[in-house]
Each structure stands twice: as structure tokens, then as C-alpha cells.
Structure 1
Amino acid sequence: MRIDAHKVLMNSPNDVSALDRMIADGTVDPREIVAVIGKTEGNGGANDFTRGFATLSFALLIARHLGTSSDAVLKRVAFVWSGGTEGVLSPHATVFTRSEAAPAGAKRLALGIAVTRDLAAEEVGTMAEVHVVAEAVRHAQAEAGIVDAADVHYVQVKGPLLTPAMIAEARARGARLVTTDPNGSKPYARGATALGVALALGEVEEDALGDDVIARDMDLYTTVANTSAGGELKNCEILLFGNAPTAGGDLAIGHAVLADVVDAAAVARAAASAGGTTADIVSIFAKAEAPPGGVLRGRRTTMLSDADINYERHARASLGAVIASVTGDSAIFVSGGTEHQCAPGEAPIAAIVRVGTA
């Protein structure tokens, strides 16, 4: 199989004109679209409705080209959106297609997709979520044809947070929740899905996990997950990227660890991990985190003390500018919140590069 990545720019959350043109000129075959990962210009919070708006807009476009319904598209295409394009970050989407191709003769980009069952409100941010995500990650790895976990370089997970409606319904049943604050549920939700990735890939042991460590013991983590939580879905969608000998095409993926939000050298390390250079980068996916205690390389910042702007927005803007300064491209997937995604203060970064045919 061959995985291709097509970056499309967006002038608004419902702007699908770039993909429409690519389908019309034959660059993208709508029958081969399997996933869309993108950034919208919402606030990234519990009330960020740009993500659902974008999903519907893309689903309607693809449905029109396929002569089917948007519901049918939502069953065949995985959509993952992260809100918040602060600073120089540009709203965009990366559209992934899968087609038949002979193996390239070297390990090339492979993609596995899995979807969990719907989660009850009381399962969000708990070991129940960890386990269902771990099972889905294992399924996605098998689908991608990746045998060695070391060849997995990026796992994107989007899962639910606790919306007011979910909280009210759970309370009516007398269910116990990790929190009754919708925005406050994001760390638990992101943390549980990240630990699910870590468990599936052997980065943490089962006996080290429990409800009491989620979003608390940050010494337990994965280095390849990028997890988000939103109110637009009730299940978890997993997109697992790695390199497999059975894959075709001219793309490969690698990853690195950002020491902090100004670690520009990590961009080159991620590209090199895939066998390329920064000039070969097709797409970048990264997490942004405020420095521990708000102190960045000995200098105080206001990321964690600003009452007006959430730290995630500060961090996304900072990292977006740093990466764009290296690549010259501000259409970058940068999301906030790194619970159990690398060691405290650090964050994951993955790069898809064009390496040519073997």
C-alpha cells in the first residue's frame, strides 16, 4: 500500500475549496481518502465548534464527489481537528490517501486506523479509556503492517472530553466522574489516551497504571503520541503512522523530542529520523507545552500565570513560530497539552518527509 499526504489551506473552518480543486484536477482520488488531520481557528477549548464544522464541511464535499451521504463518509474517513491557530499558525488540513502499490524496497510510510466504542462519561480519563485505546492502537499497528513498535513514530488520538450534557446525564445516573469541569476534563482525557498508546507500544507496564496516576504521575509517558480531546465525539479515533517494509511510495516518517518550545533543532532531528532533511519535510505534527514553573532556559515567562490567555495558546503560538522559522511553512499541526506525552516540559514532534523511491 502507498500512503500519500496532501496539504490543503483553509480560509475558514468550512473552506474546502482547495481539496475540491485537487479532486477536480485528479491530484486526489476521493475514493482513496482515508484520513484528514487539521488545524482550525477556534479556541481549542471545550466550546470550540470549529472542529465539528470542519468535519461536516469536508464530509459533505467528499460525499458529493463519491455520490454518497456524509454519514457514509464519516464511517470510512477518520477526521482529527485541533483548534487554535495562534500566532503564525495557518489553518489547514493534511489529507491522507491510501492506494495500491508495490513495496518500495525500503521502509516507507504506513498508516493504520482504528476507532473505539463510544465511552460513557464516567470512563473518560480513567483506566477504562486507557484500555480501549491500547486495544485500538494494537489493531491500528497490525493494520499498518508494522511489526516492530520501534517503527511507530506518530500516533494521533482524538477522544471525547466531558461536555455539560455528558456531565448532567452522568449525574442523573449517579455516576462518578474525574471532574465536573468541561475544560478541566481535557488533561484527564488526553492523559488517558496517551497512556493507552504507551501501554500498547510497551513504553509503560500495566502494573504501573491506575486511575490515580492519570494526569498526575507525569513520569509515565509515551514519546510518539499526540492526543487531543473535544466535545464533538464520544469515541476515540486512532491514526498510527510508522514505516513498514511492505509499504510503497516515497514518504517516510520520523520523530524526535522537543526539549522545550524553542527547540528548533528538534525539527531537523525529526526529519533525520525519517531519513531526510528539513528541506524534505511534507508535514509536521507537534505538541506544545509551557516550561515547568513557567521558566524557559532560566528566563521567567507568563505562560502559566496569564489570567487572560490559556497557557496552551501561548505555547502553540511560540512553537509554531519556531518551527516555521526552520521550515518556512506555517501550515503546521501544533496542539497543546502534553499530559503523559514525553517527560515533563518536553513534547513530541513528528515529521513526514519525501525520501524518494528505493
Structure 2
Amino acid sequence: MNYELIRCDMEHPGDVSALQTLLKEEKIKAESIKAIIAQTEGDGYSRGYATLAFQGLLSSFLSMSHEAVFEQIPMMMIGKTGGLMTPHYTLFIQEEGDKVHQFNEKRFAFGVASTPVLDENEIGTLKQVDYVTEAVKQAMEQADIKSIDDVKCVEVKCPWGVGGSLSKAASALGSAVALEEVERESISQESLNRDHSLYSVKTSVSAGQEQVSARVIVMGNSTASSSDLYIGSGVMEDALDVVGLRKSFENAGIKAGSTLSNDEMENIVQVFVNAGADALSTVRGRRHTMHTDALAMHSGILAKAVANAVVGSYVGETRILCSAGSEHQGPQGSNLIAPVVRVTGGAL
């Protein structure tokens, strides 16, 4: 199979014109779109508006109802873009490949899966943990990713329920169990969003009122892929950890120094970031005011804006997929980084 990511700009939350052009000009087929992640501005209303715009467009090309489109294609709308963050969306494309890489090389692949619809009393519980564990395993199998070491990034969009933090916590730990980062026996209901020694370094979770089940995208590298993309991963220990940032790109095959060349920047297809600066009240022993200043209610947006600026200054791009979450998504205060790069000139 061939896997591709296509990044498109959004002029407003309902702007799907770039996708419409791609479909009308037959540059991609609607049937090949397996998932969409968007960085949209605004709150739940804007996320819902964006989702509806995608549903409306794709329903006409796929000849199915809006509801069927939503069930078939995971749509993860990540709202609230602060600072220099540029609203955009990324299309996950899968189609039959027409080439085979030599030397049994591993290349970018992804799989998608969904949990069953969650009852209200299951959201933010161990039941959700187990559902997400199974969904991550299913998505790995769909992507033909044989080893958990080859999984580099898991994106989850889950229901908000009565407490979005517990739902995000359950989803992150479910993924951590699937990736063998956390033992299932070590998780109790009291662990959720409390025991921060339990976490995944490859999972980013967002919650939304528009979701009724947890939607999962697993990204990694597989020998079954004929893509010319490759994905790496890494951890920034804090928002200023440029050494950790560079190591994540080295894991993706870019052996760059303190800066990237123009050619290297052009070959970066997307960077998936989970920002955690708002999980702590300090950075390197110095107090910050994300929790105490006038914008304290928007601390997650501030954390995303900082991560976008730091990572963006390295890759020369503001269209980075940034979410924020401290609920078992990396060590407290860290950033999780997963760069997707285009491989040129053969092997890595």
C-alpha cells in the first residue's frame, strides 16, 4: 500500500475548498481519504462547523449520508489556535501502491480504528482504557506495523463526557497499554489523571463533544508500505529542549545540526506535537504565568502556541499539528514530537 499526507490551508473553520479542488481535479480520490486531522480556530462550535463542512463535501463524492461519512472517516478537529499557529488540515491518503522498496525498507504507514460507542458511564473509566487498547492494536494491524518499536505516533480523539480530562487520561493509558509502555495491571480508576508516573511517549489525545467513540490513528513505519514518507518520534523534556527536538528529527532520518537546510525543510511533510508546558507551573526552575495571569483559562492554548513557535522556528513552518494534554501524554511538562519526512534519493 502507498500512504501519503497532504496538508491544506483553511481560510476559516468551514473552508474545505482546497480539498474540493483536489477532488474535482482528480488529484486524489475520495475513497482514498481514510482520516482527517484539522487544526482549527475556535471552540466546539467551530470544530463542529469544520466537521460538517467535510461531511457535506465528501458525502457528495462518496454518495453516502453525512452520518455515514463521519462513521467511516475519523475527523479529528483540534480547536483553538494561539500565537502563530496556522489553521490547516492534513489528509491521510491510502491507496494501492505501484512500487516496492528495495532492501526491505520500512516506510510510513498508518491505520485507523474506532472503539464502540461509549455510554456516558463508560467515559473516563477503565472500560474506555480497554476499548482504546484494542482500537490501537487494530489500527496497528491494519497498517501492517509488526513491531511496537515501529509505532511513532498515536492520535486519539475521544468523547468529552462529563469530564474531558478523565476521558483523555483513559485514552492515553489505553494506548500506552497497547504499546507496552504501561502494564494494564498497574492502572486503577484512581490512576486516571492522578498517577503521572504512567504515560505514553507516543500518544496525543484530544476530546470533543462531537465524538461518541474514541477514534484512533496509529502512525509508524512498515515494510508493507511503498510510501516515500518516513516518520520518527522523540521527546522534548521541556518546552525549551532543542536537543530533544533535533533528536526526534534524527529518528526520522534527518541528520541535521542546529538548523535545517532549505531542502530539509521542504521535505518535512508534517510534525505532530503534543505540548505539555501548562502541566507544570515552572520551566527549568523558573516560574511562568500560564496558570496565574489573565489568560490562565487558556493555558492549553498558550502551551500549544509556545510549542508551535519553538518547533516552527526549527522547521520554518507554522502549519504544525499541535495539541495540548498532560493526561498521561509524556512526562509532565514535556513535548512529544513526531516528524513525517519525505525520503529523497533512495534509502534513509
TM-score by length of 2: 0.91
Are the aligned partners of 1:271 and 1:281 in contact in 2 as well (CA < 8 Å)? no
Structure 1 gap segments, 5+ residues each: 163-181
* Residue aligned with 2:8, SS: strand
Q: Distance in 2 between matches of 1:116 and 1:226?
A: 16
Q: Distance in 2 between matches of 1:353 and 1:20?
A: 25
Identity %: 35
Question: Is 1:326 aligned to 2:323, yes or no?
Answer: no
Once the two structures are TM-superposed, the CA of residue 25 in structure 1 deviates from its matched residue by 2.6
Once the two structures are TM-superposed, the CA of residue 345 in structure 1 deviates from its matched residue by 1.6
Aligned equivalent of 1:80: 76
Question: Is 1:252 aligned to 2:230, yes or no?
Answer: yes
Q: What is the CA deviation profile of residues 286-336 of structure 1, one whole-angstrom value per residue up to 9, with x for unaligned ones?
A: 111226642112322101223543210111111111111111110111111
Q: Distance in 2 between matches of 1:271 and 1:27?
A: 29
Q: What is the CA deviation profile of residues 89-110 of structure 1, one whole-angstrom value per residue up to 9, with x for unaligned ones?
A: 0100000110111432310111
2:341 to 325, 329, 353: 353
Structure 2 gap segments, 5+ residues each: none
Question: Is 1:112 aligned to 2:111, yes or no?
Answer: yes
Question: Is 1:275 aligned to 2:275, yes or no?
Answer: no
Once the two structures are TM-superposed, the CA of residue 71 in structure 1 deviates from its matched residue by 2.5
Query: RMSD in angstroms over aligned alpha carbons?
Result: 1.6
Aligned equivalent of 1:161: 160
TM-score by length of 1: 0.89
Q: Distance in 2 between matches of 1:232 and 1:265?
A: 38
Are the aligned partners of 1:39 and 1:90 in contact in 2 as well (CA < 8 Å)? yes
* Residue aligned with 2:113, SS: strand
Aligned equivalent of 1:150: 149
Are the aligned partners of 2:159 and 2:208 in contact in 1 as well (CA < 8 Å)? yes
Once the two structures are TM-superposed, the CA of residue 281 in structure 1 deviates from its matched residue by 1.2
| 238-247 vs 312-321, which moves further | 312-321
Q: Distance in 2 between matches of 1:103 and 1:268?
A: 30
* Residue aligned with 2:36, SS: strand
Q: Distance in 1 between matches of 2:144 and 2:309?
A: 35
Structure 1 residues 118 and 186: alpha-carbon distance in aligned structure 2, compared to 1, 3 A threshold:
same
* Residue aligned with 2:339, SS: strand
Once the two structures are TM-superposed, the CA of residue 195 in structure 1 deviates from its matched residue by 0.2
| 74-83 vs 244-253, which moves further | 74-83
Aligned residues, how many? 333
Question: Is 1:70 aligned to 2:57, yes or no?
Answer: no
| 281-290 vs 270-279, which moves further | 270-279
| Counterpart amino acid of residue 207 in structure 1 | E
Aligned equivalent of 1:284: 271
Q: What is the CA deviation profile of residues 248-284 of structure 1, one whole-angstrom value per residue up to 9, with x for unaligned ones?
A: 1200111100211233344432222121365231101
Q: Distance in 2 between matches of 1:83 and 1:263?
A: 25
| Counterpart amino acid of residue 12 in structure 2 | S
* Residue aligned with 2:232, SS: strand
| Counterpart amino acid of residue 58 in structure 2 | I
